[in-house]
Amino acid sequence: MDPKDEIKAKLDIVAVIGEYLELKPAGMHGFRALCPFHAEKSASFHVSSDRQIFHCFGCGEGGDIFTFVQKMEGMDFPEVLMHLGQKAGVEIKRFSTTEGNTKQRLMGIHELATSFYKKVLSSSSGSHVAREYLANRGITSELIDRFEIGFAPDDWSMLSDALLKRGFSEAELVQAGLSIKKKSGIGVLDRFRARIMIPLRDQHGNTVGFTGRQLPGADSNMGKYVNSPETLIYHKGRLVYGLDLAKRAIKDHKCLIIMEGNLDVVASNKIGVQHVVASSGTALTQEQLELIKRYTDTVVFCFDRDAAGLTAAKKGVTIARSLSFDVRAISLPTDVKDPDDLVQKNPEVWKKLSNESIPFMQYLFDRTLFSRDISNVDHKRLISQELLPAISEISDVVEREHWLAKLASLLNIDLAILRTAIHPKLEKSVIKTNTNSVHPIKLGKKDQVLLVLIGSILNDELNRDYVRKQLELTVIDHEQIANLYKFLEETYTSDIETAKTKSFFAKARNLLQSDPSKETLLSLLDQSSLIAEQQFENLSPASCLTQLNTLFETLHATDRQSKRSILAQKLRQAEDAGDVEAVNKLLSELN
Ligand SMILES: [Zn+2]
């Protein structure tokens, strides 16, 4: 069996998608969820266990298990094959593409480097300062294991030498970002020396880069933190630190806490608060938030108490709102710097606070009002300058009005005046997302009926012939639907054996899938099959037939109606042109 088919046979699309989304049963074999590919409030994302496909009626995204994981994980096809192959226990031969190969080798280098640094930390005599430092910060051996923390020895080329011995080339080590070419041009040096090494892992747990932290007291012009450069496998703006370990806890808590520093994440894990990640010290990017969106719709910001922390948080909040996240915040006590600090001083308070998030606007109000005097006109102006832009970003009208009213009563200003102050900004604040996604095909009533009928040809082998015989191609004006029907007829007549069985759907789908130029038809095929599945579910064979006949009646009635309106239009044109002969002819046709 082709490994792709083998994976399909072993993995159920409902189970795989269920790991990412909360699926609610819809009918006997169907499930529904909020679409992860576009922002929506009611579920138009459908999964069919019978057909092993998904389709979103809102944005048009759809496909099989491979398409889903590809889109969710941002993987290319060979990567999905490896990923799902592992899940299904199907052995997949290594990547055949050169880029895939290089990526695999770079990950291999990082895996070896991680164990190298770990070993140095635990057993080298030169790393006792690092061990002491970690112990002082309360980073236990369990945490060191969980985050695979290590130490880069104070040596020019110890890691490079070890990796070269394992058969990697100098060029590969440089490409991985772990070695630097010597100025002389001959040989390489280690990039990280005498630093505590924190592996940066992607959401699957693969190490793709490192952060190296200087030991206290070391030469300060080298920078406290040194990070891996951007490589083929490490993109700073795409990595969410700690996500690989947070996934399970996100499901339990239905939200994710975003902090600034990687060590905040480590500290929080120490006391079992595991639904935490770090933005690695910068403002969150759209890519990071899109990645997070695969796992939850609620983000809780917990940034440092300084002004830089708030600025970073605000940028992240703007993007998060545009991606329809529910945005909340945790307010740290005034006497601590960051979550790490809090865990060290008072772990129980952090445990409690992690469950007590407040709406982000509430947080912003509290912070803006802190140490300000509402009776002072200058303060009033500052308060409104800080809060109005944030309020204007809220897309939900009810929520926006709520905060606007709160601000109005606080400043004692007429609500209507404040409303006009934010109005011009409203449209601008909506950031367009998913620019490359497909669009749903917009259909009129007649076309929808046609899709159900075509869907019943696909799904229902008992009535397949009955529908085919009655459905005339000439009734279909919609070009793509007509093409789909033509294609199905060809598929039917080319292999009557299969056409009589349940496998007809899979056969037609595979044929369309193997031809990239037929992507639109594939999407239509999935749509019609899913619509029909919903319409005919739980119906007895007799009621199925009644339902089909009703559909045909509707189809013919709408068809007559549309033909009549075309005639009427022509009649008006003929009347305007004074063409008596044409008018008489059209009149007789209309009657
Ligand atoms: Zn969608």
Residue 7's pLDDT is 93
Q: In which order are the strands placed within the sheet that holds 195-201?
A: 150-152, 195-201, 207-214, 225-227
What confidence category does residue 98 fall into, taking pLDDT thresholds of 50, 70 and 90? low
**Mean pLDDT of all residues in the chain?**
88
In this structure, the dihedral spanned by the alpha carbons of residues 514, 518, 519 and 524, taken in order and rounded to 10 degrees, is -110
Give residue 359's Cα distance to chain centre.
23
Query: Distance from the CA of 320 to the center of ligand 1, in angstroms?
Result: 17
More confident: 109 or 519: 109
Above 80 in pLDDT, residue 432? no
Query: Distance from the CA of 439 to the center of ligand 1, in angstroms?
Result: 9
Above 50 in pLDDT, residue 551? yes
Helix (H) or strand (E) holding 25: strand 24-26
pLDDT in tens, 6-59: 999 999 999 999 988 889 998 777 899 998 888 788 889 999 998 999 999 888
Query: Distance from the CA of 43 to the center of ligand 1, in angstroms?
Result: 9
Query: Distance from the CA of 62 to the center of ligand 1, in angstroms?
Result: 8
What confidence category does residue 129 fall into, taking pLDDT thresholds of 50, 70 and 90? very high
Query: Distance from the CA of 248 to the center of ligand 1, in angstroms?
Result: 24
Query: Distance from the CA of 440 to the center of ligand 1, in angstroms?
Result: 9
User: Closest by alpha carbon to 322, among 34, 21, 35, 38?
Assistant: 38
Kindly provide the residue ranges of all beta strands, DSSP E only, lying in 179-305, ordered along the sequence.
179-181, 188-190, 195-201, 207-214, 225-227, 256-259, 276-278, 298-302
Residue 142's pLDDT is 94
Residue 305's pLDDT is 76
What confidence category does residue 358 fall into, taking pLDDT thresholds of 50, 70 and 90? very high
Query: Distance from the CA of 395 to the center of ligand 1, in angstroms?
Result: 19
Summarize the confidence of residues 133-152 as an average pLDDT.
94
Query: Distance from the CA of 17 to the center of ligand 1, in angstroms?
Result: 14
User: Closest by alpha carbon to 274, among 216, 215, 192, 351?
Assistant: 351
Residue 309's pLDDT is 76
Above 60 in pLDDT, residue 435? no
Query: Distance from the CA of 104 to the center of ligand 1, in angstroms?
Result: 32
Q: Which of 287-296, 329-338, 433-442, 479-488 has the lowest mean pLDDT?
A: 433-442
Query: Distance from the CA of 286 to the center of ligand 1, in angstroms?
Result: 18
Class of residue 435 by CB neighbours under 10 A (exposed 0-12, middle 13-18, buried 19+): exposed
Percentage of residues in the chain having pLDDT higher than 90: 49
Query: Distance from the CA of 33 to the center of ligand 1, in angstroms?
Result: 10
Query: Distance from the CA of 425 to the center of ligand 1, in angstroms?
Result: 27
Helix (H) or strand (E) holding 119: helix 98-123
Tell me if 524 sits within 8 A of 509, measured CB to CB.
no
Tell me if 276 sits within 8 A of 299, measured CB to CB.
no
Q: Which of 46-50, 246-250, 454-458 has the lowest mean pLDDT?
A: 246-250
In which residue are the tokens 């509430």 written? Answer: 362
Q: What is the DSSP string of 340-377?
A: HHHHHH-HHHHHHHTT--EEHHHHHHHHHHTT--TTSH
Query: Distance from the CA of 481 to the center of ligand 1, in angstroms?
Result: 21
Query: Distance from the CA of 148 to the center of ligand 1, in angstroms?
Result: 37
Query: Distance from the CA of 38 to the center of ligand 1, in angstroms?
Result: 5
What confidence category does residue 455 fall into, taking pLDDT thresholds of 50, 70 and 90? very high
Query: Distance from the CA of 39 to the center of ligand 1, in angstroms?
Result: 7
Percentage of residues in the chain having pLDDT higher than 70: 95
- CB proximity list for 442: less than 8 A, separation 6 or greater: none
Query: Distance from the CA of 493 to the center of ligand 1, in angstroms?
Result: 35
Query: Distance from the CA of 520 to the center of ligand 1, in angstroms?
Result: 16
What confidence category does residue 433 fall into, taking pLDDT thresholds of 50, 70 and 90? very low
Query: Distance from the CA of 324 to the center of ligand 1, in angstroms?
Result: 13
Query: Distance from the CA of 448 to the center of ligand 1, in angstroms?
Result: 19
Residue 36's pLDDT is 85
Query: Distance from the CA of 422 to the center of ligand 1, in angstroms?
Result: 30
Above 60 in pLDDT, residue 545? yes
Query: Distance from the CA of 46 to the center of ligand 1, in angstroms?
Result: 9
Residue 424's pLDDT is 47
Query: Distance from the CA of 237 to the center of ligand 1, in angstroms?
Result: 24
Query: Distance from the CA of 41 to the center of ligand 1, in angstroms?
Result: 11
pLDDT in tens, 472-516: 998 898 899 999 999 999 999 999 998 999 899 999 999 998 888
Query: Distance from the CA of 58 to the center of ligand 1, in angstroms?
Result: 5
CA torsion sign for 367, 369, 371, 376 is positive
Query: Distance from the CA of 44 to the center of ligand 1, in angstroms?
Result: 7
Query: Distance from the CA of 361 to the center of ligand 1, in angstroms?
Result: 28
Summarize the confidence of residues 145-167 as an average pLDDT.
95
Query: Distance from the CA of 69 to the center of ligand 1, in angstroms?
Result: 15
Above 90 in pLDDT, residue 585? no
pLDDT in tens, 560-574: 888 888 888 888 888
In which residue are the tokens 């004006």 written? Answer: 477
Query: Distance from the CA of 55 to the center of ligand 1, in angstroms?
Result: 8
pLDDT in tens, 210-224: 999 999 887 767 788
Query: Distance from the CA of 74 to the center of ligand 1, in angstroms?
Result: 16
Summarize the confidence of residues 170-199 as an average pLDDT.
94
